[in-house]
Amino acid sequence: MSLQMLKGIGASSGIAIARAYRLETQEPVIEKVSSRGSQSELQRFEAAVEQGKSQLKDLMEITAQRLGSEEARIFEAHLLVLSDPELLGSVKDKIYGDAVTAEFALKEVAQEIIAAFESLNTEYLRERAGDIRDVTRRVLTTMGGQLYYNHNPINEAVIIVAHDLTPSDTAQLDRVFVKGFTTETGGRTSHSAIMARSMEIPAVVGTAGAMNEIQQNDLLILDGGAGKLLVNPSPEVILQYEAKLLEEKRQQAEWSLLAERCTFSADGHQVELAGNIGCPDDVQGVLDHGGEGIGLFRTEFLYMGRSEVPSEEEQFQAYKTVLEKMKDKAVVVRTIDIGGDKELPSLKLPKEDNPFLGFRAIRLCLETPGQELFRTQLRALLRASIYGNLKIMFPMIATLDELREAKGVLQEEKQKLRSAGTEVSDSIAIGMMVEIPASAVLADLFAPEVDFFSIGTNDLIQYTMAADRMNGRVSYLYQPYNPAILRLIKMVIDAAHSHGKWVGMCGEMAGDRAAIPLLLGLGLDEFSMSASSILPARSSILQLSQAEMGVIAQQALGMSSAGQVAALVKRLLH
């Protein structure tokens, strides 16, 4: 056991101390080697199938409890695959007929079945290919003596160590047992990182080499704030971090006294602090942390990690739940923003070379046949609108035409519902994300056509600096304090205010303690962030003068580099 420190990017603050749980997600590599005897290969195969079945039964039970019986049915289908006489018979024939290993025989047979399913016309049957792939991987991994994520339910405190976690993997993490996670890939604004913050799971991403350096059950200390990971630390270091953990708890208790307060700067300027959520379960966290509203509901997470798109009814229930829980507080629901690093397998979209510049968000909504995906979501939202203070926001708007078309579709669906006798609120505010430089530059033309803007700095920064938010190699260019970004933000705020509209920010910059003074000074009206950042943000703003920050922001706008602005802010905070 060697003591080591691994550096990464702090994605979600907080300290976690627990054993490592490695998630192996790579495809097992199966070579064609001669078998050790067909009889023993068959026995190994049959034993792995039985093990797979019992894992699936456990998983079904747990999924039914945690997510519902609908989701649990996915694994029922997997169980059927493992009992399919044709598949089992073909593997057996290959093991004997070709004298190959059980792994090789299964891989070959599965590939044939997958190809056959993939060539079918019916979508449901094509989707079965994914089931076969998943089940095959489960059995292959079991034969290799390894753990297969998803079917070994985690039931003790762990820190997950993985090469990569997709947002749907992250959504499946059990908050009770998963004390933290680290991935070799990803950046601060990758969606797994954002979800970690809303789930309040400490996380460090971009920890190169973690899968090589960390063994199953190694003791880990993960420091999400500092972006580091200690492997097998000494007892003194553990004590030190246990003390830090206590201090973190004390600080949180102090902040929690601010939960019921509105947010005024020291010179009496009021702003709103809201929370970003990905599912109805996240609402409680926002309320507990003193959120004055929901500034961004990333609805695409309702669609992810499942085999079919959620129905209108299911979406309606989700939106209604959020609106009711928030009572009369504002809830900004963003229409589906799929694409980029958020894939939706059920849509079966072709792979793109530059997904962040591709067919995503509003583009996909307006261009899919019949706009059914979009219209279904809008109907669900409109029907839910009478249960609270709903605001609808469109993502990735680049042109006025897109905005007008999206608003037109919304209007059509509203009229259709009303003529069918369905009640719809008549005070739904309509806004758009400003996350593409083109819409920031033309903010004065967009402003008269919306009720509000919400600046999406996660994308605005990557598009302005031409630096992929997921690419660690260019992360030095991902500069929130670059005066170019600050000037764009100012343009948006000024344009909105001159048309009497309010401006929020729901990108990660809004919750960044060092950026808050500048944003306050630039006149931002609403700051929307991960629940856990709300109280520290309120504590900062209560002590800042908006007028003084205006002067500081003005200085920052005139600077020539992000470094100079960062130094200015640093002086201010100390």
Q: Using CB under 5 A as the criterion, which residues of the chain lie in contact with Mg ion when the complex forms?
A: 435, 456, 459
What does the alpha-carbon distance between residue 414 and residue 244 come to, in Å, rounded to a whole number? Answer: 53
Closest approach, Cβ 395 to Mg ion, in A, equals 6
User: Cβ closer to ligand PEP: 127 or 435?
Assistant: 435
Task: Give 100's contacts (C-beta < 8 A, 6+ positions apart).
Answer: 32, 33, 34, 35, 41, 94, 108
Partner interacting with residue 507 (select from Mg ion, ligand PEP, none; CB below 5-8 Å by kind)? ligand PEP
Task: Give 105's contacts (C-beta < 8 A, 6+ positions apart).
Answer: 41, 45, 91, 92, 94, 95, 98
SS3 415: helix
* 458 scored as a contact of ligand PEP (CB under 6 A): yes
- The DSSP result for 439-472, as a single string, is HHHTHHHHGGG-SEEEE-HHHHHHHHHT--TT-G
Closest approach, Cβ 515 to ligand PEP, in A, equals 13
Task: Give the binding range for ligand PEP (CB under 6 A) out of 3-11, 70-78, 144-152, 451-459.
Answer: 451-459
* 435 scored as a contact of ligand PEP (CB under 6 A): yes
Residue 191 bears catalytic tag: yes
Task: Give the binding range for ligand PEP (CB under 6 A) out of 26-34, 278-286, 439-447, 457-465.
Answer: 457-465
Task: Give the binding range for ligand PEP (CB under 6 A) out of 165-173, 180-188, 203-211, 454-462.
Answer: 454-462
Closest approach, Cβ 458 to ligand PEP, in A, equals 3
β-strand 452-455 against 502-505: which pairing, if any?
Answer: parallel
Cross-strand pairs, 182: 161, 204
Amino acid code (one letter) for 237: V
Partner interacting with residue 14 (select from ligand PEP, Mg ion, none; CB below 5-8 Å by kind)? none
What does the alpha-carbon distance between residue 201 and residue 49 come to, in Å, rounded to a whole number? Answer: 34
SS3 182: strand
Considering only residues 280 through 309, tell me which ones interact with ligand PEP, judged by CB under 6 A.
296, 298
User: Cβ closer to ligand PEP: 183 or 299?
Assistant: 299
User: Cβ closer to Mg ion: 169 or 459?
Assistant: 459
* 507 scored as a contact of ligand PEP (CB under 6 A): yes
String marking each residue 513-552 x if it binds ligand PEP according to CB under 6 A: ----------------------------------------
SS3 491: helix
* Among 221, 159, 227, CA closest to 20: 159
Total residues at the site for ligand PEP (CB under 6 A)?
10
- How many C-beta atoms surround the C-beta of residue 346 within 10 A? 18
Closest approach, Cβ 342 to ligand PEP, in A, equals 8
Return the ∠ at Cα 191 (arms to 570 and 342), rounded to 5°: 145
- How many C-beta atoms surround the C-beta of residue 543 within 10 A? 10
Considering only residues 381 through 400, tell me which ones interact with ligand PEP, judged by CB under 6 A.
none
User: Cβ closer to ligand PEP: 310 or 456?
Assistant: 456
Closest approach, Cβ 477 to Mg ion, in A, equals 17
β-strand 263-264 against 228-231: which pairing, if any?
Answer: unpaired
CB 210 within 8 A of CB 182: yes
* 456 scored as a contact of ligand PEP (CB under 6 A): yes
Task: Give 532's contacts (C-beta < 8 A, 6+ positions apart).
Answer: 12, 13, 14, 197, 200, 285, 289
The one catalytic residue in 151, 279, 365, 506 is 506
The one catalytic residue in 191, 269, 279, 365 is 191
Identify the residue among 326, 506, 556, 562 touching ligand PEP (CB under 6 A): 506
Partner interacting with residue 298 (select from Mg ion, ligand PEP, none; CB below 5-8 Å by kind)? ligand PEP
Partner interacting with residue 63 (select from Mg ion, ligand PEP, none; CB below 5-8 Å by kind)? none
What does the alpha-carbon distance between residue 445 and residue 151 come to, in Å, rounded to a whole number? Answer: 52
Catalytic amino acids?
191, 506
Residues at the interface with ligand PEP (CB under 6 A):
296, 298, 337, 435, 456-459, 506-507
